[in-house]
Structure 1
């Protein structure tokens, strides 16, 4: 296991310390975390960003009185373009899912349909609905994954876009790669397909699975990535979308990706994080190890679970999720919300090893106590 992921201060300029959300790579430590600080609810990276992020922020710190400049945003876009092997004109900077939903929902007037898997992350769908877009939810398949055939069947002349998450959130399931790429090629001929790959970099073969290959082919496919997850920058949120040239041009004309809307520190931190491939590999490896331990515990407890490939696990607690969440909250642990119709299923973010062990023991105690009370 990598040994160089150590938690340390980032900024010492003028004696100011940035908050814990900005801390660099956090190591697996022997210290028992305070129970009231175990947050396994938002799929944050428990191991923090690359240590290089600290230096990048420190360099920019003296310029915080200035807005981010176009040159730094352009340099960052060019860095992403080189990393993804696409023309820089197809890179739209920012966490733009909501803005993208507003844009697509308002084009051609209200009433356009947005096909998506449910339950799921709905920032884009919710935004589109605010300007007259109509959500068309499609239930997951028997493996709790995107039901590609059912999704394709819902696409019509009224469809403005199809929105998919791969691996899916909250289930962590991956779509079969061959079937998924075939789906993208076929459906994108009818409507743009937006693929949210927020968690794909947690998979060992993410480059082969990424829909970016379709963007390079010129398909009507968009790929969204965020630095909030494996790169550990939830405290400085920033992402990017790779889009077909005409749509990227239109989004740029709407002001999306402008430097001033991104923030100087966000750009600097994300640029440093993207460059540190080794740190990403280390986080991926540790999360995979911890995910396997979670699966072993769930199997031992005979709790059904999905085949998650993301940074969280999703399992059937055998009781309402709200009850389990409330019981864990009294122990100082926050887990994910309920995702109807899977009201007995719980999503738990994979934390540091000691955090995971504590929460696993608490879940075991809570569910055993629940079982005993029903047997009396």
Structure 2
């Protein structure tokens, strides 16, 4: 089929390239065991209670799901201290972000964010015929709020802030963020992508929900993929005032989330003991990997997520290739403009130790 039939804006899109799959690497290198530390997945998987809930819900697969996910929204509303009408459930956080673009962006609008960051911001902008305004991160890999403010004009519709940011794991502090929000004009909606925010354990750190409660024009976006290990289930949500969510509901599909996914999300929220175990394991894993990779000569800044953004101090591609041959998948960052960097997901203690042993052997061999 000729591309002349394509919608013109689709021609401007860059196809999202995910990290290498376990199956692909096994086949390529003839390996039987692979450890993927590239996609920021929970190394332990979902709560056993979530798995049981999915299995039970599968018996009702012949029935359409309850379209509003009322029970899950009620639980989240209680957790955040808001009415359930302020919560929208959909098919993963990336789908929520696409809905925001469909609901708010007109052709010719401008959408501002920093790069590198999650690529869906650009995709949703370009798909709607709008103009992405991309600003480099600061020298310490954070969103440059001052330059974002300086780029806002009468054509600006949305501002995206990924906090913590992917792929760098950095955050903008809540004080910086509130100072920024005070200055954003009323015709601009600020989208806080908080896919990794549960991993931020700073004392008294205020998350997006607090700014929503204070009346700022903010949409907070979350996922069950990371902390709760439900990446394959595809379930995420947005928090905002009902009038802000109204156009998202208008463009969202009628049954966006499966019965199994909703059941798993509810069970995950109930299993606080498992959640706390995951957070503690991630905290220890971050410290271990940062310490050991620094000892190998890498520059590894603090991360507030479940991954590390490491400067290898050399071309990273040979390291990535050698790790693949050793059975470890990490994310090269050349596509984000960082040819010397890799992104490494925190694994289980055993996975982390095996990874460091393999990395040490590779780095020593290249020295």
Band of TM-score, shorter chain:
0.7 to 0.9
Distance in structure 1 (CA, Å) of the matches to 2:32 and 2:300: 25
Aligned with 2:326 (options 305, 308, 331): 331
SS at match of 1:62: helix
Query: 1:342 aligned to 2:332?
Result: no
Aligned with 1:114 (options 92, 111, 114): 111
Aligned with 1:351 (options 334, 338, 347): 347
Q: Where does structure 1 lack aligned partners over 5 or more consecutive residues?
A: 1-33, 372-376
Say if 1:325 and 1:335, in contact at 8 Å, map to a contact too.
yes
Partner of 2:72: 76
SS at match of 2:222: strand
Q: Report 1:187-266 matches (<5 A).
A: 187=184, 189-205=186-202, 208-255=205-252, 258=254, 260-266=255-261
Query: How much does 1:69 deviate?
Result: 2.1
Partner of 1:17: none
Query: How much does 1:217 deviate?
Result: 1.9
Query: How much does 1:113 deviate?
Result: 1.2
Query: How much does 1:108 deviate?
Result: 6.4
Distance in structure 1 (CA, Å) of the matches to 2:200 and 2:340: 27
Partner of 1:39: 36
- Post-superposition Cα deviations, 1:140-173, rounded to whole Å, max 9, x if no partner, equal 1121111121222112211110111111111111
Say if 2:174 and 2:206, in contact at 8 Å, map to a contact too.
yes
Say if 1:41 and 1:349, in contact at 8 Å, map to a contact too.
yes
Distance in structure 1 (CA, Å) of the matches to 2:345 and 2:94: 22
Query: 1:166 aligned to 2:163?
Result: yes
How many positions carry a matched residue from both structures? 335
Q: Report 1:82-97 matches (<5 A).
A: 82-94=78-90, 95=92, 97=94
| Higher deviation after alignment, 147-156 or 197-206 | 197-206
Residues 334, 261 of structure 1: alpha-carbon distance in 2 compared, 3 angstrom cutoff: same
SS at match of 2:343: strand
SS at match of 1:160: strand
Say if 1:314 and 1:347, in contact at 8 Å, map to a contact too.
yes
Residues 35, 160 of structure 1: alpha-carbon distance in 2 compared, 3 angstrom cutoff: farther
TM-score, scaled relative to structure 1:
0.84
TM-score, scaled relative to structure 2:
0.86
Distance in structure 1 (CA, Å) of the matches to 2:105 and 2:121: 17
Runs of at least 4 residues of structure 1 off by over 6 A?
none
Query: 1:319 aligned to 2:314?
Result: yes
Query: 1:370 aligned to 2:358?
Result: no
Say if 1:99 and 1:127, in contact at 8 Å, map to a contact too.
no
Partner of 2:153: 156
Say if 2:47 and 2:274, in contact at 8 Å, map to a contact too.
yes
Distance in structure 1 (CA, Å) of the matches to 2:201 and 2:32: 32
Query: How much does 1:325 deviate?
Result: 1.3
- Post-superposition Cα deviations, 1:1-53, rounded to whole Å, max 9, x if no partner, equal xxxxxxxxxxxxxxxxxxxxxxxxxxxxxxxxx87320011000002222211
CA RMSD of aligned residues (A): 2.0
Partner of 1:143: 140
Distance in structure 1 (CA, Å) of the matches to 2:105 and 2:222: 27
Aligned with 1:125 (options 95, 102, 122): 122
Distance in structure 1 (CA, Å) of the matches to 2:163 and 2:138: 14
Partner of 1:282: 277
Query: How much does 1:279 deviate?
Result: 1.6
Q: Where does structure 2 lack aligned partners over 5 or more consecutive residues?
A: 1-30
| Higher deviation after alignment, 297-306 or 324-333 | 297-306
Residues 303, 337 of structure 1: alpha-carbon distance in 2 compared, 3 angstrom cutoff: closer
Query: How much does 1:247 deviate?
Result: 2.0
Say if 1:225 and 1:239, in contact at 8 Å, map to a contact too.
yes
Distance in structure 1 (CA, Å) of the matches to 2:56 and 2:284: 35
Partner of 2:289: 294
